[in-house]
């Protein structure tokens, strides 16, 4: 697939620039909608080849970024992120006859820069911790466009949310008990949504299925009426909506139609008990393309199914249309991001495997060892070179399972070349760690030939900042 052009990006190139085939096989777009649905691409929309065949993103040469900012390096393409935000906003306007708002699921990648970009595009945000909530507020997201999730919220987190006027998603009875104490003396009611498990299974990794009955999230369906009746007698609570979520990295559309019917029944129940319930939050879950064989629906297709199903289900039950909320995370930010690594050692095991090691691994991308996730990678300065060998790309951590890419085809490589791994904008930085006391990478935002640091690289001495050495253990001089 070929990415769309950006005149500003093209003008930066020192020589004529060729678009990058995002399938990396020269295949054409399947439809015009793919240009507006970055989740169906492998590379960021602004990916280009310069006159020497080297890859640029956002008008910046990837190998130059690696030399300037070091590796591993997270690179975020502003064009792709903004295009995706607009795709959701425009699709909701086109395919849902009522009011609608897309909320960025910030657990995918939480930072001040991403928050500011998403807020400027008119989206809202969901947060699941005090850290994500503070990042959202400080990044300029209006409190009225934030919802606060979590299956084990602390009193301190809930206090922060209600003090800032953020809507709270009630996940369990403990949330209700804590809020009833915290909000008892406050003027006005706390805006809440009630989350329940709809009992819908999807074909995705068991760790990221959240809609089936055996889930830690939300009230069981048979508890919903009791919860809503209890809240009807709580003057501190204003039940503004309902929430359900069926999983992540989903390519199927039918489960979303099923979800609409279940949620419309719940909406009818809530309104019959006197709750205003103007919002219906269907969660997120739309998948993206990590490898060429992945075939996710486009954002337009996903919204058309969800919006149409909710409108139809409400019409069948003669319900006034609610405001439709959805929570894209991975599909909003993943394709906008890539990670750059420096190739290092090589180990050839005749007749078995060839290992290429990079200067990062499971601390900057834990998804392969956690979910057996697959990715697509190219050499930054030779992205379309003929692949001549099958290799396994390993990380540098002291862990046999620290493998980023299993049995991938690459050209013959040399140490010091830069490897670009696509679609790492979601759940890489967010799930990163300091395993083996390896500092976290820097992140840069690229646009119109300019790279800006949006997260500083940690230094080894930073990792000692919170260590405390008891006096009695001090070395004897």
Residue 381's CATH number: 2.40.37.10
Tell which residue, 65, 53, 28, has the closest CA to residue 385: 53
CA 129 to chain centre: 15
Looking at the structure, do residues 447 and 362 belong to the same domain, yes or no?
A: yes
Taking alpha carbons only, the member of 378, 432, 426, 370 closest to residue 403 is 370
Helical pair 155-163 and 173-182, crossing angle rounded to 10 deg: 60
How many independent structural domains does the chain possess?
Answer: 2
% of the chain exceeding 70 in pLDDT: 90
410: β partners: 389
pLDDT at 229: 98
* 94 and 73 belong to one structural domain: no
Flag whether 246 is in a domain. yes
Considering the domain architecture, whether residues 254 and 400 belong to the same structural domain is answered as no
DSSP type of residue 344 = E
pLDDT at 446: 98
- Global pTM? 0.91
pLDDT of residue 370: 94
* Amino acid 34: pLDDT: 61
CB 211 within 8 A of CB 252: no
Do residues 207 and 132 both lie within one domain?
Answer: yes
- DSSP structural state of residue 353: E
Residue 476 lies in a domain: no
Residue 231 sits in the same domain as residue 91: yes
Domain that holds residue 436: 7-77+336-457
At residue 462, the pLDDT reads 96
In angstroms, the Cα distances linking 343 to 367, 368, 406, 408, 419 are 20, 18, 15, 15, 7
Side-by-side strand order, sheet with 55-57: 18-19, 48-49, 55-57, 60-61
Element (H, E) at 131: helix 130-138
Contact 1, 38 (CB under 8 A): no
Token readout for 215 is 């889930």
Please report whether residue 17 resides in a domain: yes
119 with 59, same domain: the answer is no
Where does a domain end: 333, 366, 389?
333
Identify whether 470 is part of a domain: no
3-state SS class at 75: strand
Yes or no: say if 197 and 218 are a contact pair by the CB < 8 Å rule. yes
Task: Quote the CA–CA distance of 3 and 22 in Å, as a whole number.
Answer: 6
Cis peptide before 138 (omega within 30 of 0): no
Q: Is residue 474 assigned to a domain?
A: no
**Does 212 reside within a domain?**
yes
Among this protein's residues, is 398 annotated catalytic? yes
Closest by CA position to 438, among listed 62, 66, 71, 65: 71
Residue 371 lies in a domain: yes
370, containing H or E segment:
helix 367-371
* CA gap 26, 400 in Å, rounded: 35
- At residue 185, the pLDDT reads 81
| pLDDT at 35 (0 to 100) | 64
Phi, psi angles (nearest 5°) of residue 147: -120, 145
The region, left, alpha or beta by phi > 0 then psi within -120 to 50, assigned to residue 434 is: alpha
* Claim to verify: residue 326 and residue 341 sit in the same structural domain: no
CA atoms within 13 A on the CB side of 465: 7
Instruction: Report how far residue 380's alpha carbon sits from residue 358's, in angstroms, rounded to the nearest whole number.
Output: 14
Tokens linked to 318: 């003669």
Regions of the chain with pLDDT less than 50: 1-33, 202-212
71 and 150 fall within a common domain: no
Direct distance between the N- and C-terminal alpha carbons of the chain, in angstroms, rounded to an integer: 65
The residues, ordered by sequence, that sit 6+ positions from 182 with a Cβ below 8 Å of its Cβ are 155, 158, 159, 162
The Cα–Cα gap between 272 and 140 comes to: 37
Task: Say whether both 31 and 85 belong to one domain.
Answer: no
CB 178 within 8 A of CB 155: yes
């Amino acid at each position: 697939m070929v990415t769309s052009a950006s005149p500003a990006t093209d003008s930066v190139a020192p020589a004529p620039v060729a678009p990058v085939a995002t399938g990396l096989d020269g295949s054409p777009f399947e439809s015009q909608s793919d240009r507006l649905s970055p989740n169906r691409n492998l590379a960021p929309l602004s990916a280009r080849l310069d006159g020497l065949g080297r890859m640029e993103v956002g008008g910046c040469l990837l190998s130059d970024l690696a030399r300037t900012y070091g590796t591993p390096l997270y690179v975020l393409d502003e064009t792709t992120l903004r295009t995706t935000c607009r795709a959701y906003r425009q699709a909701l306007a086109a395919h849902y006859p009522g009011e609608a708002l897309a909320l960025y699921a910030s657990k995918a990648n939480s930072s001040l820069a991403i928050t500011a970009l998403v807020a400027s595009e008119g989206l809202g945000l969901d947060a699941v911790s005090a850290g994500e909530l503070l990042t959202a507020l400080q990044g300029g997201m209006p409190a009225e466009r934030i919802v606060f999730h979590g299956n084990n919220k602390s009193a301190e987190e809930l206090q922060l949310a209600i003090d800032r006027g953020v809507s709270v998603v009630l996940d369990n009875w403990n949330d209700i008990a804590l809020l009833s104490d915290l909000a008892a003396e406050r003027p006005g009611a706390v805006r809440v949504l009630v989350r329940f498990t709809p009992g819908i299974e999807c074909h995705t990794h068991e760790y990221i299925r959240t809609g089936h009955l055996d889930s830690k999230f939300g009230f069981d369906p048979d508890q919903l009426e009791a919860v809503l009746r209890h809240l009807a007698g709580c003057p501190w609570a204003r039940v503004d909506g309902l929430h359900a979520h069926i999983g992540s990295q989903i390519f199927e559309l039918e489960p979303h139609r099923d979800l609409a019917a279940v949620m419309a029944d719940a909406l009818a129940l809530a309104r019959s008990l006197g709750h205003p319930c103007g919002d219906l939050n269907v969660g997120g879950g739309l998948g993206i393309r990590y490898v060429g064989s992945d075939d996710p629906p486009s954002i337009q297709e996903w919204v058309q199914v969800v919006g149409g199903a909710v409108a139809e289900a409400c019409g069948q039950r003669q319900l006034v249309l609610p405001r439709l909320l959805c929570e894209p995370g991975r599909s909003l930010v993943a394709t906008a991001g890539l990670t750059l690594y420096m190739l290092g050692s090589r180990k050839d095991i005749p007749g078995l495997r060839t290992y290429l090691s990079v200067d990062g691994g499971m601390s900057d991308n834990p998804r392969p060892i956690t979910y057996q996730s697959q990715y697509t990678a190219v050499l930054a300065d030779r992205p379309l070179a003929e692949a001549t060998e099958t290799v396994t790309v390993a990380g540098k951590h002291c862990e046999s399972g620290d493998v980023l890419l299993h049995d991938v085809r690459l050209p013959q490589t040399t140490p010091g070349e830069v490897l670009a791994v696509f679609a790492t904008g979601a759940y890489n930085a967010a799930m990163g760690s300091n395993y083996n006391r390896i500092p976290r990478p820097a992140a840069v935002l690229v646009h119109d030939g300019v790279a800006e640091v949006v997260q500083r690289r940690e230094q080894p001495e930073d990792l000692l900042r919170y260590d405390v050495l008891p006096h009695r253990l001090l070395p004897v001089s």
